[in-house]
Chains A and B, each alone.
Chain A
Amino acid sequence: MAVPQRPSLDGAPAEPTADSERIPLAKRLEIYRSMVLMRQAEQRANDLFLQNLVKGTSHLSLGQEAIAAAAAAAMRPGDLSFCTYRGHAHTLARGVPVEKVLGELMGRDNGLMRGKGGSMHLTSVEHGVMGSYAIVGAHLPIACGAAWRAQYKGASDVSVCFFGDGTTNIGAFHEALNFAACMKLPVVFVCENNLYMEYTPIAEVIPVEHPAADRASAYGLERIVIDGNDADVVYETLSHAYARARNGDGPSLIEAMTYRYSGHSRADPAKYRPAGELERWKERDPLNIYRRRLEGSGVKAAALDAIESDVRTIVDAATKACQNAPFTSTDVLFTDVYADGGCAWRN
């Protein structure tokens, strides 16, 4: 399958399908700011990795920011996000401070989980970030369980589960979709199709064009493919899906086409990509698209510049705070294995 210059939108018009002007300007500026924050924070994470200040691995969402930012902007407080190991952007999108995220990546005492989880497990329950799951597919059934609780309790929150195109080939994806559809659970599944499952083009390992959307009918769900680089399209699509979920109309499965600028993880230089593909996608950079559109709506360039420099100040301050923070105290090593706070397995 030829890799499209634009995401394959199956007959959708080339121009954005969302009516951007219908989205309140304050919300659009919030989305822009959120995308800028993700971009800058992840670029900083990458810089820190190159300085050996972030260890282990990291999976960046550079290029995919529109999905995380708009999906979170469309949520209500109390809605729950379930993320993958590529979870920095989704965590930041819910308002978790940059310092806490970078601190966790750097193994510092100010980290979100004080270094006990690391890059792939960012979790902030107080912000509705119910975990970043590093076993592909594991969190789809978990999101179903949270949605089942909402249904059982008569609560109005929605569980939103993000995952990549590669996840659509693992059993838990299918078990979760079937379970959610049978029970009409208030859960929204968002497949971020960035065209590659780790190092392999997704098209090589699926018998259909769209790994998520083309499986939707098997679970009685609508086939939805959207431009994941257009934050307004993401915002409107997810707002509709969340409303359906809250209304008792059951789950949605949305496939958002996008592209990651870096390799799968820090270990991957992404040499498998055809020449020119990255450059073509960068022409459709979600931040550039959004900035141009905001300017087209009359927002002054200076106001957008101010957002960018404001975020730069925040990311710089967070970086400095993390560099100055002590390494995680070893006091936490034996804590919270069990709910009594300790790790005793025998008397």
Chain B
Amino acid sequence: MAELTYREAVARGIAQEMARDDNVVFLGEDVAKAGGVFKATDGLLEQFGPKRVLDTPISEQAILGAAMGAAMTGLRPIAEIMFADFIAVCYDYIANEFPKTRYMTNGQVTLPLVVRCGNGGGARFGAQHSQSIENWCMQFPGLKVVAPSSPLDVIGLLAAAVRDPNPVVFLEHKSLYSTKGEVPDGEIVDMLGTARTLRAGTDATLLALGMMVPRTLQAAEILHTEHGINCEVIDVRSLVPLDTQCMLGSIARTGRVFTVEENPRQLGWGAEIASIIADEAFYDLDGPVIRITAPNIPLPAADALEDLTIPSVSRIADTIRRALAA
């Protein structure tokens, strides 16, 4: 057992898979010599050499296109798109190429590839380097989308993503890179499509993702100690595939559900889950599904503004307390 940062877990996860399989290669901007702009891939070049760890030009289409061509001919590439916002400049691959090629070719083409991105806000980078872009990716049948919230999950889900025969978008949260967690020694492999219950409770189910997971856990502690409200907290982890059963099972016990989302309100991931709950768990509910999200505005840069925009521990706790008191 060792305590690792989320950032160190990224490098360990990639290294674990590269050491296991020569077909795993890694490319991106500043990922090799510089060790990544978030220092999450430090040491990989030294360990695996320049044939397997590639610094690319600032060419996001070339990065994702090359990953696709390599994947369809037998490699298992990991491609880094530095800030998740940059997915927008290579969106053709996310929207048109990766998810549709297997289907259109009637299964002739397999694309085992992973796109890693630094996702999310909280670092004062402003509106084009801070977005939570899960919903940009989860709308395309054929793509998988995961977002780990702890160092352990980074390694386990990254390993699962690399071994998965489908294209996977792997969203690391850039404000979690410095957070720490216990990680056992040896190989770690998790399962895509599984949510995880991090805190058991009886009064409400809280669904959170990425950086919202630690904030939601803190909010649940406050609700418990200060208000006697006992919340169950589920880390959604995998948006596609979605572990609906885990969530519906919890809601059947608690009767209330809150989603905690960093993204702007419109069409956030919680909207899809709320719709599933409305269809399949309506009669389990004792009150409306409530989505706690960023307001529908671009993310501002200044401390005071960004802190107001992204759901905070106190906003999460207050919203839940008021809703349950009503």
Contact (Cβ within 8 A) A130 B102: no
Return chain A residues, CB-CB under 8 Å to B52. 152
Chain-A contact segment, one of B66-74, B117-125, B252-260, B292-300: B66-74
Chain-B contact segment, one of A14-22, A137-145, A226-234: A137-145
Any chain A CB within 8 A of the CB of B57? Answer: yes
Interface residues on B, range: 35 or more
Q: For chain B residues 97-116, which have a beta carbon within 8 Å of chain A?
A: 97, 101-110, 112
**Contact bitstring A129-157, B, C-beta under 8 A = 1, else 0:** 01101010111111111111110110000
Contact (Cβ within 8 A) A142 B69: yes
Interface residues on A, range: 35 or more
Q: Which residue of B is nearest A174, CB measured?
A: B59
Return chain A residues, CB-CB under 8 Å to B318. none
Chain-A contact segment, one of B235-243, B261-269, B281-289, B302-310: B235-243
Contact (Cβ within 8 A) A145 B68: yes
Return chain B residues, CB-CB under 8 Å to A344. 241
Contact (Cβ within 8 A) A125 B103: no
Contact (Cβ within 8 A) B241 A117: no
Any chain A CB within 8 A of the CB of B130? Answer: no
Task: Determine how close the nearest CB of chain A comes to the CB of B227; give it in whole angstroms.
Answer: 33
Any chain B CB within 8 A of the CB of A114? Answer: yes
Contact (Cβ within 8 A) B166 A338: yes
Contact (Cβ within 8 A) B101 A131: yes
Contact (Cβ within 8 A) B66 A144: yes
Q: For chain B residues 13-41, which have a beta carbon within 8 Å of chain A?
A: 25
Q: Which residue of A is nearest B194, CB measured?
A: A347
Return chain B residues, CB-CB under 8 Å to A112. 106
Contact (Cβ within 8 A) B103 A116: yes
Any chain A CB within 8 A of the CB of B225? Answer: no
Contact (Cβ within 8 A) A145 B66: yes
Distance A153 CA – B22 CA, assembled complex (angstroms): 10
Contact (Cβ within 8 A) A123 B108: yes
Q: Which of A172, A335, A336 is the one whose CB lies under 8 Å from B61? A: A172
Contact (Cβ within 8 A) A339 B69: no
Chain-B contact segment, one of A176-184, A259-267, A275-283, A312-320: A176-184
Given A159-B69, A182-B57, 6 more A-B residue pairs with CB atoms under 8 Å apart are A113-B105, A123-B109, A178-B59, A335-B106, A336-B102, A345-B242
List chain A positions with a Cβ less than 8 A from chain B: 80, 112-114, 116-118, 121, 123-125, 130-131, 133, 135, 137-150, 152-153, 159, 171-172, 175-176, 178-179, 182, 332, 335-339, 341, 343-347
Q: Can you list 16 residue pairs at the A/B interface with Cβ under 8 Å?
A: A80-B73, A123-B108, A125-B108, A130-B69, A139-B65, A142-B72, A144-B62, A144-B65, A145-B65, A149-B69, A152-B52, A175-B62, A179-B59, A338-B142, A339-B164, A345-B241
4 pairs of A and B residues whose beta carbons are closest in the complex = A141-B65, A145-B69, A339-B165, A145-B66
